Amino acid sequence: MAADDDYDHLYKIVLVGDATVGKTHLLSRYIKGNLPKAPTATIGVEFATRTVPLAVGGTVKAQIWDTAGQERYRAITSAHYRRAVGALLVYDVTKSSTFSNCSKWMEELRQNAEPDIVIMLVGNKFDLAEKSPGDRQVYYDAAAEFARQNGLYFAEASAVTAYNVKHVFEHLLQEIYNQSSKGRGREDSAQAPGGITVGDRGAPKPGCDANAC
């Protein structure tokens, strides 16, 4: 891993979603490689940083903000969406209400964060659904379709087993870089005489397979 002060980009990322979906567990698994020893509900906002080499685009320092899911902290947490360029929108695959609330969280993000924020929808607690398929309340295809309709990226993950945890964070970081460099490319072509601005239609659509985004 690169030295903490040696990076090309600084990205603010937020984790959002209902209480108990496992946002803090996902962050702990990614940053520390383990789960919190005595998990408690997040109060307000906490954050951690990690410096990550991208596959393309150099090195990024990710400032990752873990926000409380409870309604009473909503005013505090929404203020922290400002200047966020990426988000993990987390739900629990064994609890359908947490998926139903994703629309509300998504709108809140788009109202308060950067206008072109990149959002990765994450179905956490995949390990529970794998161990006991009858416990699954949110099916993969339904979540993938929601992601496609709303321009989100999507994967299922498990903080407990570490399945896809690195993938969801680092795919999000790579897509933020890809989007920002596309934006710069459009600006350059718009300024060039007779230049043709290429839109996003040729880009792969979000809502891709969990293992091959």
Structure tokens at 189: 């072509």
Dist. CA 70–CA 83, nearest whole Å: 22
pLDDT score at 80: 79
pLDDT score at 139: 96
Nearest partner of 73 among 42, 107, 108, judged by Cα = 42
Domain 9-191 has CATH 3.40.50.150: no
Domain ranges of the chain: 9-191
pLDDT score at 181: 85
Q: pTM of the predicted model, to two decimals? A: 0.80
pLDDT score at 82: 86
Tell me how far CA of residue 146 lies from CA of 45, 103, 142, in angstroms.
Answer: 27, 9, 6
**Could you read off the pLDDT tens digit of each residue along the chain, which spans 213 residues?**
445 568 999 999 999 999 899 999 999 999 999 887 765 555 546 778 999 999 998 999 999 998 765 555 556 556 778 889 999 999 999 999 999 999 999 998 998 888 899 999 999 999 999 999 999 999 999 999 999 999 999 999 999 999 999 999 999 999 999 998 877 655 544 444 433 333 333 333 444 444 444
